[in-house]
Amino acid sequence: MQIITYNVNGIRSAMSKGLFEWIRTVDPDVICLQEIKASPEQVGVFELEEMGYHHYWYPAQKKGYSGVAIFSKKKPLTVSYGCGVKEYDEEGRILRIDFEDVSIMSVYHPSGSSGDLRQSFKMKWLSFFDKYISELKKKHPHLILSGDFNICHKAIDIHNPVSNAKSSGFLPEEREWMENFIDSGFVDTFRHFHKEPHHYSWWSYRAGARDKNLGWRIDYHLASENMKQRLKYSEILPKVKHSDHCPVLLEIS
């Protein structure tokens, strides 16, 4: 099974740059999207269905903002929308599909870069998400969390750790949360296969950052520890350009 996570920064914008043509070529089994900024009615789903995808959408209530989606070749046993907390579900943060032997979540963690209010919201969300996943694993132990976490875990995951030491997404408390969350029973699947630096999944639009590879690795597939033997391969795909993020691929048996 090939799973792709991709923050498309507006699915309609990404489609205008060839997103669906790329999906048709790559033909992954599951695609987890974040920041879709649209509902299926605004997008049109004929082409997706023609490619053989079942599609599930959880847009934010605010138009043109946030939202997640999952496209899957195989029809899941169940689909779960949201987390049951109004302030988070209004922003379309979580969508999960369950199969017999694995559950896959598309998750979009808040950004705190716009100021103190949203940073506070982000930290509150992280605390909630930790507890939420701890409980979820009891019912769905074979779990893959695919999405934009808006956190660089370690210094190796950001192009300039010194100048970004006080930037949202690389704050000590965020990195500590990420460390503790992974230690609670997850595998950072990309780092499971790749230990070397200079691998990023997001770049600023400013100053030619992408061409210079001055990026951040904030998009992850985190797999529960009990799936470690089923991990086959993971890769970041920086040459794919429909967004300021790029896709991240995970292959499992």
Strands 186-188 and 219-224: antiparallel
Produce one character per residue of 119-147: b if its CB has 16 or more CB atoms within 10 Å, e if not. Answer: bebbbebbeebeebbeebbeebebbbbbb
Q: Are 2 and 244 in contact (CB under 8 A)?
A: no
Starting at the edge strand that comes first in sequence, how are the strands of the sheet with 94-98 ordered? 78-81, 94-98, 103-108, 143-148, 219-224, 186-188
Q: Which of 220, 211, 249, 217 is nearest to 233 (CA)?
A: 249
Residue 252: what residue type?
A: I
User: Rounded CA gap, 241 and 150, in Å?
Assistant: 19
Is 148 known to be catalytic? yes
Cα–Cα dist 67/166, whole Å = 27
Alpha-carbon span 62 to 73, nearest angstrom: 29
Number of H helices, E strands in the chain: 8, 14
Query: Is position 108 annotated as part of the catalytic site?
Result: yes
Which of the residues 148, 157, 188, 219 is marked catalytic?
148
Q: Which two tokens stand for residue 173?
A: 């408390």
Marked catalytic residue, from 108, 157, 219, 220: 108
**Residues with catalytic annotation?**
108, 148
